Structure 1
Amino acid sequence: MADSNSLSRKRWWYLMPVIFITYSLAYLDRANYGFAAAAGIDSDLGITKATSSLSGALFFLGYFFFQVPCAIYAVQRSIRRLIFFSLILWGLCATATGFVSNIPVLMGIRFLLGVVEAAVFPAMLIFISNWFTSAERSRANTLLILGNPVTVLWMSVVSGYLVQAHGWRGMFIIEGLPAIAWAVIWYVLVRDKPNQVNWLNEQEKRQLQDALDAEQRHVKPMRNYGEAMRSKTTIMLCAAHACWCVGSFGFMMWMPTIIKSAATIDIVSVGWLSAAPYLVAIIAMLLASTFSDRLRNRKIFVWPPLLIASVAFFISYLIGAHSFWTSYAFMTIALVGMYAPYGPFFAIVPELVSRNVAGVSMGLISSCGALGAFAGSYLVGYLHGLTGSPGASYVLLAFALLGASILMFCVRATPSEDPVPSLKSEAIR
């Protein structure tokens, strides 16, 4: 028997840095639009407030339409090739944003950026399920999704300085190029499954595959993708993720603009204030995923933080413009509540759905999240432009997250109440 500790260390050290950097670059090229909006892209291109919110949100519309097709390709063909071409294409789209001269081209590029990035998240979740067991999956998912807050953390500071030095055009060009270079590194380092690598010996490959196969013994096989998509649990997780993303992406996309309008400060200070809450979110994500794996209870680490985030946004609404720093503190609490549950949430699906369809189920859930992100990004930008203050946006975010929390509380992941998958003994109670 191979040393399990050695096998575990090899996978974490070989794979997670590559996974993290790849998702981090994807998040960089989708999230920096908020800084362009705060830096004057609207006035430079003659964009109205409503059009600005639509331009920022179009990314998620492209993301929505292509999540499931990309997940199917990842399952049936190759994650490695899919991400390789996606890296090149999204790097080109992101860089091209720095050269736009009119509104239709900007909208087209934002939509295409969403299309080519649609592969990343479901493919990475499938990749993790190919390499990590259920006892590790929440932490692995969290290290993937940490590419989100960690990227926003450093991007908020770097983008502020880049905008100050080179304008929003220079920011887009400079921040789009790393993805193209990383595509080559990704293709050299990554293989789709354990039996394709040379850094595990045959005994280690067999041990890992046996562990992954054992997890599926009590999960009822499903006939096809349609059966997986009709599962009551899958539908509820889709709805919860859509509401959740209305809140998280609506706030993330427009946080720099909200801060800049609430406090009279320069763009570099906006960057630092936008970055700080993500540091706290990173710590919360690591704690939630660690205890989720240890206790094998996913739900308890999902719906309560979302409820706390909802309440925090509602308190920020009540405070209004009376105290920027108090409102900012509750914004930080809300952001932490939105990010902490991601690892446990995406560890749920492989524990409930058979391996042959789990990837597509994750793609569908992620796709519904993209639709929520589109709605949140558009509505938050639109309401802020319409009212000139973040109050109405806070109410929208509060109700969206409340809906996500209620849906997750109501998910009943037990064999008797969801006829499609059967649970393992360590799955969600």
Structure 2
Amino acid sequence: MEKILARSRWYRLIPIAFITYSLAYLDRSNFGFAAAGGMAEDLGITPGMSSLLGSLFFLGYFFFQIPGSHYAATKSAKKLIFWSLILWSALAAATGMVHDVNMLIAIRFLLGVVESAVMPSMLILLSNWFTKEERSRANTFLILGNPATVLWMSVVSGYLIDALGWREMFIIQGVPGILWAFIWWKLVDEKPKDANWMTEEEKADLEEALYKEQQGIKPVKNYAEAFKSRAVILLCAQYMLWSVGVYGFVMWLPSIIKSAPNMDIVITGWLSAVPYILAIIGMLAASYFSDKTMNRKVFIWPFLLVGAIAFYLSYLIGESNFWLSFALLVIAGGAMYAPYGPFFAVITEILPRNVSGGAIGLINSMGALGSFGGAYIVGYLNGATGGFGASYILMAVSLLASAILTIVVVKSPKQIAAQAQ
């Protein structure tokens, strides 16, 4: 009879992970609202410089993924996230105090550096606590901090900018992370053996389940061997292209909506929140059925394809019908977010624990490079063309290519079974 693993892990760890990642995501995505809410005019930021500033975060995010992931896997994810929380919150609040574009450039880059290891560290931490059959859902509850944060942040940021200004928005949304760091340190345990809220039997059962699933994974000697593998290379390309679409969308959706006739910043905030409602529903459904069927592939590529089609149709409609185009953007946003849980479950299921942390860091760093490209190129295209059609095509093509790569690299249960024979 299969042992039932401790349910307390879910309500003890997942809410903390969710809130922590939410705070991280808040401090990277509220820049788009500041740009649409007066920051550009106050600091004399040109459209080209605005694109660079919006994307600089991801350049800093790119460079320190692998070192951070290695430290989290071999030393302590808990300690790394604690210090990251304090530093990124301080930098986010400092954004509201700048009066010089050069200082803003430095802060945006450093914010990316400090936050670079947070997501891979979180995924590594969760892999210490949740088994293969649970991992897609655990990852999804973590990454739900992304759309859920943008959902409420879109509304709150609109009101804060309208009532107080963009500077006060950054300060008010930055400070809570410093306080949360100490709550994180108090409540989170690195591994099951450290948890005084589990019985010894529960700890032993979980450790045994995690050990057994490692036995079914082909051994990989070191990072060099893992990074050269076909699967990791293709997953890097897949995630980079996917991220072009996601962050081109996240960073510039407020500006796209704000450009509509008779649109103020408060209404922009409410409308910007809508895609993330669909994203949350899609993420929960995809992760549940992915774990239930153990089929990751079919819960990744179809969503990316839907996102690509929605962007292309938005391009065809153009500015002739704002509300239909907006509805398609809602679909694109929801579809792009839905596969995150199954995708990150794939990595820990094809690579052993000794190299999976570094591989997550490498793949996430390629995602950061795609995010940089998406945020910068979409902003540049919007400014250069005076419209959004070119950026819609860019995001559509990127998502289509990402869907094709998913079909190539991620194996279905039947393919996995055939390979094992």
TM range (shorter): over 0.9
- Is 1:313–1:330's contact at 8 Å kept on the other side of the alignment? yes
Give, as a single letter, the amino acid of the residue that structure 2 aligns with 1:281.
A
Match for residue 204 of structure 2?
206
Deviations 1:57-112 (CA, angstroms, capped at 9, x unpaired): 00000000001110000011101110000000000000000011111100100000
Match for residue 410 of structure 1?
408
Distance in 2, Cα, partners of 1:292 & 1:3: 21
Deviations 1:15-55 (CA, angstroms, capped at 9, x unpaired): 00000000000000000000001012111111110010000
- Number of residue pairs matched by the alignment: 420
Match for residue 142 of structure 1?
140
> How is 1:184-263 mapped onto 2 (pairs within 5 angstroms)?
184-263=182-261
> How is 1:348-363 mapped onto 2 (pairs within 5 angstroms)?
348-363=346-361
- Is 1:263–1:324's contact at 8 Å kept on the other side of the alignment? no
Among 68, 71, 91, the residue aligned to 1:70 = 68
Match for residue 420 of structure 1?
none
- Which runs of at least 4 in structure 1 moved beyond 2 Å after TM superposition? 412-415, 425-428
- Is 2:297–2:412's contact at 8 Å kept on the other side of the alignment? no
Distance in 1, Cα, partners of 2:418 & 2:356: 18
Match for residue 393 of structure 2?
395
Q: CA deviation at 1:349?
A: 0.8
Match for residue 160 of structure 2?
162
Distance change >3 Å, CA 233–CA 164, structure 1 → 2: same
- Is 2:3–2:205's contact at 8 Å kept on the other side of the alignment? no
Moved more, 103-112 or 255-264: 255-264
Match for residue 4 of structure 2?
4
> How is 1:299-338 mapped onto 2 (pairs within 5 angstroms)?
299-338=297-336
Matched, 1:28 2:26: yes
Deviations 1:324-375 (CA, angstroms, capped at 9, x unpaired): 0000010011111100111100000111001111111111111100000000
Give, as a single letter, the amino acid of the residue that structure 2 aligns with 1:43.
E
Distance in 1, Cα, partners of 2:384 & 2:168: 29
Match for residue 47 of structure 2?
49
Q: CA deviation at 1:3?
A: 6.6
Match for residue 282 of structure 2?
284
Match for residue 181 of structure 1?
179
Distance in 2, Cα, partners of 1:321 & 1:41: 26
Distance in 1, Cα, partners of 2:261 & 2:126: 41
Distance in 2, Cα, partners of 1:238 & 1:226: 15
* TM-score normalised over the length of structure 2: 0.97
Among 272, 275, 279, the residue aligned to 1:274 = 272
Distance change >3 Å, CA 189–CA 235, structure 1 → 2: same
* TM-score normalised over the length of structure 1: 0.95
Distance in 1, Cα, partners of 2:329 & 2:148: 17
- Is 2:157–2:269's contact at 8 Å kept on the other side of the alignment? yes
Q: CA deviation at 1:413?
A: 3.9
Distance in 2, Cα, partners of 1:106 & 1:356: 38
Secondary structure of 1:219 counterpart: coil
Gaps of 5+ in 2: none
- Is 1:63–1:115's contact at 8 Å kept on the other side of the alignment? yes
Moved more, 53-62 or 261-270: 261-270
Distance in 2, Cα, partners of 1:37 & 1:59: 14
- Is 1:352–1:427's contact at 8 Å kept on the other side of the alignment? no
Distance in 2, Cα, partners of 1:224 & 1:411: 21
Q: CA deviation at 1:263?
A: 3.8
**RMSD, aligned α-carbons:** 1.8
Distance change >3 Å, CA 72–CA 281, structure 1 → 2: same
Gaps of 5+ in 1: 418-422
Distance in 1, Cα, partners of 2:402 & 2:126: 25
Give, as a single letter, the amino acid of the residue that structure 2 aligns with 1:4.
I
Give, as a single letter, the amino acid of the residue that structure 2 aligns with 1:65.
F
Match for residue 109 of structure 1?
107
Distance in 1, Cα, partners of 2:257 & 2:390: 15
- Is 1:75–1:359's contact at 8 Å kept on the other side of the alignment? yes
Match for residue 118 of structure 2?
120
Distance in 1, Cα, partners of 2:412 & 2:269: 45
Q: CA deviation at 1:264?
A: 2.5
